[in-house]
Structure 1
Amino acid sequence: MARISLDPAELETFLTIARTGSFTQAARALCLSQPSVSQRVQRLEGELGVRLFDRSGRKVELTHAGLRLRDRAEPIVTEMHAMLAEFRDEQQARRRELVVAASPMLAAVVLPAVVRRVTEQTPGAVVHIHDKDAGAALQDLAVGDADLAVMVMDSSDPRFAAEPLPGDECVVVARTGHPLLAAPAVGFDQILRFPVLLSSSQVRLTRLVTEESARRGLEFRPSLFASTVRTALGMVGAGMGVTIAPSAVVRAAGLPELSTVPIEGRPVLRQFSTVRLRNHPLSPIARAFTGLLQQEWRRLSA
């Protein structure tokens, strides 16, 4: 089979001349010089081995071969324009679409406000938030199923680049009026006198609090695991116990029946980060999202 060597730009130029009846008008329509238009026609005629136009003075008419080519080329060039428009539209849509893999805790209580602001500032934007643990979030980034992850990044995998959010101190959360809230700060020995509720999704926080308890010579055993942070906070609000959570998350939840108190001694910190593939440029909507998330996190951590 012979190699296809026709240039689509030459076909488009030929059709423009056929439509306008003039090399000069075709050059104007294509934003080209007239010599460039003539050269394209010459190359096309050379490739096909036929003459496409009869030129008598200023009048340009199609030859029999030109008429045949016009009938065959018009649907081809029209389809090529449609194909280009389709791919460009898809690319533009992707630029307005963002997939974020986030820890369930952040997805539930912090990111909704950020998503709202992104969609308000970027008409037509679509943001997908996928609840993922850290391992699954990094896997989604690696295979291209997510554009960003928001998580505790404790991996040194060189494939990823992390931008830390401000460090957030964990606090004790209790129903307003709870005895623990009377002190300016409480120790783990005081906390463990009461039922402690945590979310089963808070694996790293549970491990961190367990290590902090062991550092103080205490054994930490949560009294109950809820499926989500919101559920744990709701149970605390119902007076079923206390929980430990990042202060920014508690503020974002906005439950008026809850109050917080700091933990004595070494603060329990959760370093959240936005994570992306290294050397992978962020789209405009991804940059907007990370900027607004930084703003929201600073507000909640103030």
Structure 2
Amino acid sequence: MLHTHLTLRQLRAFCFVAQEQSMTRAAEKLFLTTSALSMLIRSLEEELGLRLFERTTRRVMLTDAGSELLPTALRTLDQLDSTVRLLQATHLKQGEVLKIATSPLLAASLMPTVISQFRLEFPGVRVELLDVPVADVAEAVRSGQADIGVCTSGQENRDLKSEVIFQDALCVACPEGHALAAMDSVEWSDLVEFPLILLKPGTGLRNLLEKPMQRWAGQLRLEYEVANIHTALGLIGAGLGVSVLPAYSLARADVQGIAARPLTNPQVIREVVTLYAPSKPLPSSAEAFLNRFKKFAAQTPMRT
């Protein structure tokens, strides 16, 4: 008997690349770097001993073997998703309350859509959302105010368990009609021509940017340093500069007139994670919610 050790991550990556015919677009939808996605595809091909894709400079095409695998892979993932939803719907208690602590930015951008989709699948579960400063998310979980926390990584929370929900590639945010909005992607070198709006030093987002900024020290025109992303978006909308922000920050309903373009050379990745206490089992409703969140993130492209 032939034994293979295929993983769901490999199959999901294969299906996204096959459907998008582009490693870059598939990586964006999966919230992975292109190198991480390439490793998944390469490991799948090595496991099978077959080439699944022909790569050209313009797109990625399925080989004959890949074309044979695709229908089965799609069917397998769909059947598994259906089975998981059925199990969760059967075992979740009517009237169960799921308490989630998250940052104001996530609460205003991604959470409304994710909660809405979750409630459609599990109408018997009531969701309580606690929006607190990102530094307080972990404490809300420790104190029992929340069953889970959803926030960006980078905080020291070794007493809590953490799991990556998705990876967010930071983007350049600029006014619609701006010169950068006409580009497919923006490199750091392109930013030196424009006034820059960044979060203040010491914030998690600014800490991520310090290393790539060092290469352009003295050339970047830092015009405004602000305490939160909401302020940065307001300044961008008024035409006062451009910024480097999480792509999901533009998913807020009140964000208008701002375009986002991928930032490259180098790309900067930030993880959004869930936190929960290891001392007690994760509620079934929390597991179902996190599965829904991951699926939403995988299916949602960056706003452009």
TM-score range, shorter chain: 0.5 to 0.7
Match of 1:101 in 2: 101
**1:249 to partner: Cα distance:** 3.4
% identical equivalent positions: 25
Whichever residue aligns with residue 209 of structure 1, its letter is L
Separation in 1 of the partners of 2:158 and 2:186? 39
Match of 1:232 in 2: 232
**1:95 to partner: Cα distance:** 6.4
After superposition, the C-alpha distances for 1:92-132 in whole angstroms (9 at most, x for unaligned) are 99962122121222111111111222233333533222233
Contact 2:95-2:126 at 8 Å conserved across structures? no
DSSP 3-state at the match of 1:145: coil
CA RMSD of aligned residues (A): 3.2
Match of 1:258 in 2: 258
Inter-CA distance 137–103: structure 2 relative to 1 (3 Å threshold):
same
Match of 1:188 in 2: 188
Whichever residue aligns with residue 103 of structure 2, its letter is S
Separation in 1 of the partners of 2:217 and 2:202? 22
Residue 269 (1) aligns with residue 265 (2):
no
After superposition, the C-alpha distances for 1:166-209 in whole angstroms (9 at most, x for unaligned) are 32110101112201233343333432432333467992112212
Contact 1:197-1:232 at 8 Å conserved across structures? yes
Contact 1:247-1:301 at 8 Å conserved across structures? no
Contact 2:237-2:258 at 8 Å conserved across structures? yes
- The TM-score, its normalising length taken from structure 1, stands at 0.59
DSSP 3-state at the match of 2:195: coil
Inter-CA distance 99–264: structure 2 relative to 1 (3 Å threshold):
same
Residue 292 (1) aligns with residue 289 (2):
no
After superposition, the C-alpha distances for 1:61-88 in whole angstroms (9 at most, x for unaligned) are xxxxxxxxxxxxxxxxxxxxxxxxxxxx
Inter-CA distance 205–156: structure 2 relative to 1 (3 Å threshold):
closer
Inter-CA distance 239–158: structure 2 relative to 1 (3 Å threshold):
closer
Separation in 1 of the partners of 2:93 and 2:202? 35
- Could you tell me which runs of 5 or more consecutive residues in structure 2 were left unpaired when the two chains were aligned: 1-91
Residue 126 (1) aligns with residue 126 (2):
yes
Whichever residue aligns with residue 197 of structure 1, its letter is I
Separation in 1 of the partners of 2:158 and 2:257? 44
Inter-CA distance 229–94: structure 2 relative to 1 (3 Å threshold):
farther
The alignment covers a number of residue pairs equal to 211
**1:222 to partner: Cα distance:** 4.8
**1:274 to partner: Cα distance:** 1.1
Whichever of the two has the greater Rg, that structure is 1
